[in-house]
């Protein structure tokens, strides 16, 4: 079974804004299913599109199946999503040989910036850039599926 091992962090905006960044990629993603035990997501990234199915999270690990789909079909499927579509720009940053993906959210989630690092195995060691703040891996409020239903702008 394919596994995703990922750690998620809040980004320290004061330090992030000062960092030289590569060109970001616009991402739109919507959810066809958002049960706590599984999500079914449609995502477009520039000229690519994907259908992704994720199982329940156990610490930083969960089953993940991802399949490329035609972009036109992804746009049609995004229309079927019953909850708002997430919009963000993703930056891929290399830091000490590891790739960090940093998402700056827009729309109802504007103001939120999250960094993720995907690992090969659960106990893998990695260094954190200075702009990486508090870990939120096990906080379900920071799952994109949750943010689609409960936007960051509505948090108290």
Contacts of residue 36, Cβ cutoff 8 Å, sequence gap at least 6? 56, 140
Copy the structure tokens of residue 124: 């893998």
Share of the chain above pLDDT 90, in %: 81
Q: Would you identify the CATH topology of the domain 3-154?
A: Hypothetical Protein Pfu-838710-001 (2.40.320)
Q: Residue 83: what pLDDT?
A: 85
Counts of helices then strands in the chain (DSSP H, E)? 3, 9
Catalytic residues: 31
Strands (E), 12-97: 25-35, 38-45, 48-54, 61-68, 86-95
At 144, the pLDDT band (50, 70, 90 cuts) reads very high
Burial label for 113, CB within 10 Å (0-12, 13-18, 19+), is buried
């Amino acid at each position: 079974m394919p596994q995703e091992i990922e750690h998620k962090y809040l980004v320290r905006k004061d330090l992030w804004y000062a960092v030289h960044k590569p060109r970001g990629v616009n991402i739109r993603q919507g959810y066809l299913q958002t049960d706590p035990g599984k999500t079914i997501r449609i995502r477009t990234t520039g000229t690519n599109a994907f259908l992704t199915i994720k199982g329940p999270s156990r610490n930083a690990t969960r089953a993940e199946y991802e399949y490329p789909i035609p972009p036109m079909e992804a746009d049609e499927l995004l229309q079927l999503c019953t909850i708002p579509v997430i919009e963000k720009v993703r930056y891929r940053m290399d830091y000490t040989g590891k790739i960090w993906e940093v998402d700056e959210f827009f729309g109802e989630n504007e103001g939120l910036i999250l960094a993720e690092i995907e690992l090969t195995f659960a106990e893998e060691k990695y260094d954190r850039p200075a702009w990486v703040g508090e870990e939120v891996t096990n906080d379900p409020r920071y799952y994109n599926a949750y943010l689609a239903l409960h936007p960051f702008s509505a948090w108290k």
